């Protein structure tokens, strides 16, 4: 006789994911003027998904490769891929690479890189149980590091009054945090605010983190996409390496290759010595084996081909410039429309911010009216994806913002 009470009786119903639920609401809306500025995926000016031309070429190379098979990849991924990914973020002339102090593991996109790094640190990093994430940050950061076993705290980042970086408060929290705490830092194009530290501010952040012996865990989902310049977007990570930090970098190729559904990621690891790197890598392989056994092949093969071919790499950089320039054009267009409308407040933060997202400063009540009255879908914190705007809808969007700012 079976027990009448289910083993799952006490499982609570989880709330739906904010972004995916927002997309579902948008799809169900039948209004012809509807706009989706919630999802973080690039769109053309026609608001269509963009398959990078260089990705199509790499795909054709794969298709025509008679020797291609579907065997398992190595546990840590294809070495030519992981090494190229590490070079991309650290730079060809990185001292860490030259000194064999770098390991890299292929992951399930950036989410997997965050997770794998978090689980590894929880098991082996004993300096502090605390992990600090920015306020605000990508929603998954808290979930990932909490699930791994960290005590997750926040450090100030967004100053709502100035609509910019809360730099001094951020440093104060770093100084007050227990020595050796893990700090999750966005390498470029901070999500959701679009606000990045200046190079001088990065130097100040590095100085305080060095004094407190904190561990930097960079999350880099937008290299090359943020400014259109791969080296510029990697500057902060490379500076920290030059200053002698050990660190992790979670890399995603979803945005900068448009490989959203292929889950191509990488975890780059910098240690103090070649011997430490060997030991860390061995444990990373052991961890990876227990979780995913080995990573998926298709997306990483695309990236591998492009990063290791000079001509395709050069073409990829041009594709990146097209994407980043379209985002910049939409920032300028929105700012200009709001200025022409005389919308109350200052809006220069729209053009000062960088990358996929902009933190508009709209309140929860204003966002609600945007959804209900104008059929414009954005997250409650006022974050918008600039890729959801186009030359055809930016006027409508700006007029909606003007209305809610004046009347809500």
Active site residues: 138, 219, 255
DSSP 367: H
Which residues, in sequence order, are bridge partners of residue 216? Answer: 183
Opening angle at CA 396, ends 395 and 400, nearest 5: 115
Respond yes or no on whether the N-terminal peptide bond of residue 136 is cis (omega within 30° of 0): yes
Are 351 and 327 in contact, with CB atoms under 8 Å apart?
no
Query: Phi, psi at residue 363, to the nearest 5°?
Result: -85, 170
Distance CA 243, CA 322 (A): 33
Pairing relationship of beta strands 247-252 and 264-270 according to DSSP bridges: antiparallel
Largest CA distance in the chain: 74
Q: How many CB atoms lie within 10 A of CB 2?
A: 5
Are 84 and 304 in contact, with CB atoms under 8 Å apart?
yes
Tokens of 342: 């005389």
Which residues, in sequence order, are bridge partners of residue 102? Answer: 270
* Start-to-end C-alpha separation, the chain: 61
Distance CA 135, CA 115 (A): 19
221 Rama sector, left if φ>0, alpha if ψ -120 to 50, beta otherwise: alpha
Distance CA 205, CA 14 (A): 37
* Residue 348: strand, helix, or coil: coil
Tokens of 167: 């730099």
């Amino acid at each position: 006789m079976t027990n009448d009470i289910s083993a799952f009786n006490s499982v609570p119903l989880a709330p739906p994911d904010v972004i995916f639920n927002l997309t579902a609401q948008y799809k169900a809306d039948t209004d012809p003027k509807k706009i989706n500025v919630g999802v973080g995926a690039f769109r053309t000016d026609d608001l269509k998904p963009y398959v990078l031309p260089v990705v199509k070429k790499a795909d054709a190379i794969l298709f025509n490769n008679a020797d291609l098979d579907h065997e398992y990849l190595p546990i840590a991924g294809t070495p030519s891929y992981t090494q190229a990914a590490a070079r991309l973020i650290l730079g060809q002339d990185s001292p860490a690479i030259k000194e064999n102090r770098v390991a890299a593991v292929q992951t399930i996109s950036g989410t997997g890189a965050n997770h794998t790094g978090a689980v590894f640190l929880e098991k082996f990093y004993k300096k502090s149980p605390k992990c600090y994430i920015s306020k605000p940050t990508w929603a998954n950061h808290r979930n990932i590091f909490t699930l791994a076993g960290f005590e997750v705290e926040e450090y100030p980042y967004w100053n709502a009054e100035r609509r910019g970086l809360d730099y001094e408060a951020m440093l104060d929290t770093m100084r007050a945090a227990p020595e050796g705490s893990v700090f999750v830092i966005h390498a470029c194009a901070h999500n959701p605010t679009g606000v990045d530290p200046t190079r001088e501010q990065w130097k100040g952040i590095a100085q305080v983190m060095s004094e407190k012996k904190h561990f930097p865990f960079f999350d880099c989902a937008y290299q090359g996409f943020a400014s259109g310049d791969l080296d510029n977007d990697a500057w902060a990570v490379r500076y920290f390496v030059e200053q002698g930090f050990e660190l992790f970098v979670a890399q995603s190729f979803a945005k900068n290759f448009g490989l959203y559904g292929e889950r191509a990621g990488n975890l780059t690891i910098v240690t103090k010595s070649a011997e430490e790197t060997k030991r860390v890598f061995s444990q990373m392989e052991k961890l990876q084996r227990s979780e995913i056994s080995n990573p998926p092949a298709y997306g990483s093969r695309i990236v591998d081909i492009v990063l290791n071919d000079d001509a395709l790499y050069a073409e990829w950089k041009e594709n990146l410039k097209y994407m980043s320039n379209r985002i910049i054009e939409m920032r300028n267009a929105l700012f200009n429309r709001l200025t022409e409308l005389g919308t109350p407040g200052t809006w220069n933060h729209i053009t000062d911010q960088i990358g996929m997202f902009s933190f508009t400063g709209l309140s929860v009540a204003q966002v609600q009216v945007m959804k209900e009255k104008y059929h414009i879908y954005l997250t409650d914190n006022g974050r918008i994806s600039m890729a959801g705007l186009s030359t055809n809808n930016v006027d409508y969007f700006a007029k909606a913002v003007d209305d809610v700012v004046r009347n809500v």
